[in-house]
A and B are shown apart, each in its own frame.
Chain A
Amino acid sequence: MITEFTEKIPFITLLGPPNSGKTTLFNYLSGKNYKTVNYPGATVEYSIARILKKYNFEANLLDSPGIISLIPESLDEKVSINAIYNHPKYGIPDLVIITVDASQLSRHLLLVSQLIEAKFKILIALTMTDILNKKGLDVSINKLEKLIGCNVVRIDGRNGKGVDQLLRAAEENIQNAKTYGGYQPVMVDNMNNSSALIEVFKKIEEIEHNVIVPIKHGNNIDFNNANKQLNILNVDADKKLTHKLDSTSLRIDKILLHKVWGLAVFFIIMAGIFTSIFWLAAPIMNLVDDLFGYLASDAFSYLGNNWYGDFIANGIITGTGSVLVFVPQILILFLILGVLEDTGYLARGAMLIDKPLSKIGLNGRSFVPMLSGFACAIPAMLAARTIPNKRERLLTIFIIPLMSCSARLPVYALLIGFLFPASKAWLAGIILAAIYVFSTASSIVVASVINKFRSEFLIEKNNSSFILELPAYRKPKLSVVANNAYHSAKLYFKKAGPIIIGFSIVLWFLTYFPNSNPDIKTKGLNQDQVIQLQKSERLSGSYAAELGRGIQPLMKPLGLDWRVGVSLISAFTAREVFVSSLALIFKVTDNTQPLQNSIIDAMRKATIDGTNQRLFTTSTIIGLIIFFVFALQCLSTIAVSKKETGGWKIPMLQLIVFTSMAYVSTFIAVNGLRLLGLP
Chain B
Amino acid sequence: MKSAADLKNGEKGIIVSVDENHPSARRILEVGFTPGQEIELITKSIFSDPIAYAVRGTLIAIRKNEAECIKLL
Contact = CB atoms under 8 A, between A and B. Distances in A.
Given A259-B46, A352-B46, A243 B56 contact: yes
Interface stretch (A86-94, A103-111, A272-280): A103-111
Given A106-B32, A354-B45, A463 B23 contact: yes
A97 B59 CA distance: 25
Given A198-B34, A465-B23, A467-B62, A355 B56 contact: no
Contacts, number: 125
B35 to A, nearest CB: 6
A364 interface: yes
Contact of A364 (B42, B50, B58, B60): B50
B72 interface: no
A249 B29 CA distance: 24
Interface in A227-260: 242-245, 249-250, 253-254, 257-259
B3 to A, nearest CB: 16
B30 A197 contact: yes
A259 B50 CA distance: 11
For chain A, what secondary structure do more than half of its interface residues adopt (helix, strand, loop), or is it mixed?
Answer: helix
A257 B49 CA distance: 12
A146 to B, nearest CB: 23
Nearest to A364: B50
Given A244-B57, A253-B43, A465-B23, A107 B32 contact: yes
Nearest to A194: B20
Nearest to B53: A470
Given A71-B26, A201-B34, A355-B47, A245 B62 contact: no
Given A104-B56, A107-B56, A194-B18, A355 B50 contact: yes
A350 to B, nearest CB: 8
A309 interface: no
Interface in A176-224: 192, 194, 197-198, 201
A262 B43 CA distance: 11
A107 B58 contact: yes
Contacts of A243: 54, 56-57
Contacts of A242: 57
B24 A467 contact: yes
Contact of A253 (B18, B30, B42, B46): B42
B56 to A, nearest CB: 5
Interface in B1-54: 18, 20, 23-32, 34-35, 42-47, 49-50, 52, 54
A245 B58 contact: yes
A107 B23 CA distance: 21
A356 B45 CA distance: 11
B29 A197 contact: yes
Which range holds the interface residue count of chain B?
Answer: 20 to 34
B29 A467 contact: no
Contacts of B63: 354, 358, 465-467
A519 to B, nearest CB: 68
B26 to A, nearest CB: 7
For chain B, what secondary structure do more than half of its interface residues adopt (helix, strand, loop), or is it mixed?
Answer: mixed
Which range holds the interface residue count of chain A?
Answer: 35 or more
A245 B43 CA distance: 14
Interface in A314-351: 347, 351
B10 to A, nearest CB: 11
Given A355-B49, A463-B24, A469 B44 contact: no
Given A104-B57, A465-B24, A470-B61, A198 B29 contact: yes
Given A103-B57, A259-B44, A466 B30 contact: no
A465 B64 CA distance: 10
A194 B42 CA distance: 26
B58 A471 contact: yes
A612 B49 CA distance: 60
Looking at B44, B60, B62, the one whose CB has the most chain A CB atoms below 10 A away is B60
A521 B52 CA distance: 75
Given A250-B42, A469-B60, A110 B30 contact: yes
Contact of A465 (B27, B32, B44): B27
B44 to A, nearest CB: 7
B59 A106 contact: no
A263 B59 contact: no
A351 B45 contact: yes
Contact of B60 (A198, A201, A352, A468): A468
A347 B47 CA distance: 18
A351 B61 contact: yes
Contacts of A259: 44-46
Nearest first, the 9 closest Cβ-Cβ pairs linking A and B are A463-B23, A243-B57, A470-B59, A351-B61, A355-B47, A257-B43, A107-B32, A69-B30, A201-B34
Interface of A: 68-69, 71, 73, 103-104, 106-107, 110, 192, 194, 197-198, 201, 242-245, 249-250, 253-254, 257-259, 262-263, 347, 351-352, 354-356, 358, 364, 463, 465-472
25 contacts: A68-B30, A73-B27, A104-B56, A107-B32, A107-B57, A197-B26, A198-B35, A243-B54, A244-B57, A245-B57, A253-B59, A254-B43, A259-B45, A263-B46, A354-B61, A354-B63, A355-B46, A355-B47, A467-B31, A468-B50, A468-B62, A470-B59, A470-B60, A470-B61, A472-B58
